[in-house]
A and B are shown apart, each in its own frame.
Chain A
Amino acid sequence: DGGITQSPKYLFRKEGQNVTLSCEQNLNHDAMYWYRQDPGQGLRLIYYSQIVNDFQKGDIAEGYSVSREKKESFPLTVTSAQKNPTAFYLCASRPQGRENSPLHFGNGTRLTVT
């Protein structure tokens, strides 16, 4: 079955450490997205990529970095510069140039930084 896999489901880190969240899709989608979900805040866009080797900042990119070396993969690194990294992170994808297509979401990674 095609889909988006995010791993791990739960991640714990100490403050000051960088951490990378994995997102892999086998849907052959060009566009991939990272959102952050906080209670009462909805989903806020961190970064997105419309094609391999290209990505754009979203609304809350500070303290995060991404790479898009392969079509299937769009890992997100939460750096020590992110002031409030504890959150639920969602990866999504959709076909390129299909703005009216719904996003396909992964099951998310819950990151806790102490």
Chain B
Amino acid sequence: AQSVSQHNHHVILSEAASLELGCNYSYGGTVNLFWYVQYPGQHLQLLLKYFSGDPLVKGIKGFEAEFIKSKFSFNLRKPSVQWSDTAEYFCAVNRNSGNTPLVFGKGTRLSVIA
């Protein structure tokens, strides 16, 4: 079965620090990769996705992620975080065939302090 690992449970950063959240998945075939964000009290929103083409994808609010196939990784990055980035971040993966559902990681809680 597919699985998704997010390495950090809780990350605390100061404003303007750089962010990298790790995500690794277990499936070896062609996959679709997603990062979702959940701000406090709000519903899940899509940050960015990758399914083909340039492995460096840019999303909303200055986030980007790089797909490294050899490492089965899809790490999320942002050069300079803001207090408003405080949220929970979820990596999700599914196979690119067979109408497979998304499998989510356990999430990483990001706290940005002034």
Name A's B-contacting residues (CB within 8 A): 31, 33, 35, 40-45, 48, 50, 58-59, 90, 96-97, 99-100, 102-103, 105-108
B90 interfacial contact with A, CB 8 Å: yes
Do A33 and B101 touch across chains, with their CB atoms under 8 A apart?
yes
Which residues on B are within 8 Å of A, measured CB to CB? 1, 4, 6, 9, 32, 34, 36, 43-44, 46, 49, 51-52, 90, 92, 94-107
* CA of A97 to CA of B107, assembled, Å: 26
In Å, the complex CA distance between A48 and B90 comes to 20
- Bound complex: CA of A72 vs CA of B102, how far in Å? 20
Nearest chain B CB to A48's CB is how many angstroms away? 5
Query: In the assembled complex, how far is the CB of residue B29 from the closest CB belonging to chain A, in whole angstroms?
Result: 12
Given A40-B9, A44-B104, A105-B44, 10 other A-B contacts at CB below 8 A?
Answer: A42-B6, A42-B90, A42-B104, A43-B90, A96-B99, A99-B32, A99-B96, A99-B100, A102-B36, A103-B44
Please name all residues of chain A whose beta carbon is closer than 8 Å to the beta carbon of B99 when the two chains form the complex: 31, 50, 96-97, 99
A-B contact pairs, 8 of them (CB 8 A): A40-B107, A41-B106, A42-B90, A43-B90, A99-B99, A100-B32, A103-B44, A103-B102
Residues of B within 8 A of A31 (CB): 99
Chain A residue at minimum C-beta to C-beta distance from B103: A45
A43 to B105, CA, bound (A): 7
Q: Establish whether residues A108 and B43, one from each chain, have CB atoms under 8 Å apart when the complex forms.
A: yes
* Distance A40 CA – B104 CA, assembled complex (angstroms): 12
Please state if B97 and A100 are interface contacts (CB–CB under 8 Å): no
The residue in chain A whose Cβ has the minimal distance to the Cβ of B106 is A42
Assess whether B44 is in contact with A99, with CB atoms less than 8 Å apart.
no
Across the interface, name the chain B residue whose C-beta is closest to A51: B99
Complex CA distance for A58 and B106, rounded to whole angstroms = 16
Q: Which residues of A contact B6 (CB under 8 A)?
A: 42
